[in-house]
Structure 1
Amino acid sequence: MENKTILKIREFNRFYLSTMDFYEAKYLSSDYSMTESRVLYEIYETGKCNADDVVKKLHLDKGYLSRIIKRFENKQILQREKSQTDARFYHIQLTEKGKKITEALIYESNQGIGNIIQSLSTEECIQLEKSMDTIKKILTGGLNHENHKI
């Protein structure tokens, strides 16, 4: 592996996290961490899923996700129901309260990104989009999806 590439990726990560204000303990102005917000978003996007789906998608520890789910259940943000086909599994989905919270997070995130890129020209936005697509394409080809924590 090229040491210079590793250093540049780490530099970019620090820049990106700082620019997007992801160093905060809580995501945006919410009561939720970045990971909790991502869990909400994944459940929101799928509508109804099981914990294994979220673990695979976000590469989370099952125990950590289990604690998040329990906390969300206690706050009535999501609900679990036993699978009709396999009693060992539960389906999880957001409650109306959970959907509203997630929609507010999505809106606030979109507004924040909009503020960051508002001064960019159309050409710069297109270049930024293409650059992000290129990064994803390159890294997706080079990742071992079982273990790619950075």
Structure 2
Amino acid sequence: MTIVFEFISSSSRFVAGTRDATSRQGARASAGVSQCKICADAEADVVFKPCGHRVTCQECCLRCKLCLICAKPVQAKVRSDGQPVQATQANQRRQQELDAKLKELEDRHQCAICMERTRNVVFLCGHGACTECSANLDCCHMCRVPVERKIPIFSG
């Protein structure tokens, strides 16, 4: 709701400003239009199925897995024109970037020898492997420095 807070020589302007804002809000409420509960910038125009609540805009609904009102799982998201909501190209690109980052993090903690188990032993040179692969090593598989000590690491 927009209220004019300026007093310019008469209070009639303040009252008129308040009346305009109130009438806009009343018109919006009577039309059944509400703001997005997440961003509060756009119109809430996406209906969650099966509960039928309409609380978010098309941009914000992509992140919702549960209804914000009843907390039921959202099985489908439908726009006000009846079309299902599709992820935008920007969101798809962002998802691909996040998937690549996740793969990189997983690879960083994976044994470089067997590529199956988590790296849980580190050598003094700083390289590492899993317990099973490191049991057979006399020198580091990466830099060929003799392995003097095998230090177990724990990921919690």
Smaller-chain TM-score bracket: under 0.3
Max radius of gyration: which structure? 2
Task: Indicate the structure with greater helix content.
Answer: 1
Structure number with the bigger relative contact order (C-alpha 8 A, sep ≥ 6) is 1
User: How does the TM-score come out when normalised to structure 1?
Assistant: 0.26
Task: Indicate the structure with greater strand content.
Answer: 2
User: How does the TM-score come out when normalised to structure 2?
Assistant: 0.25
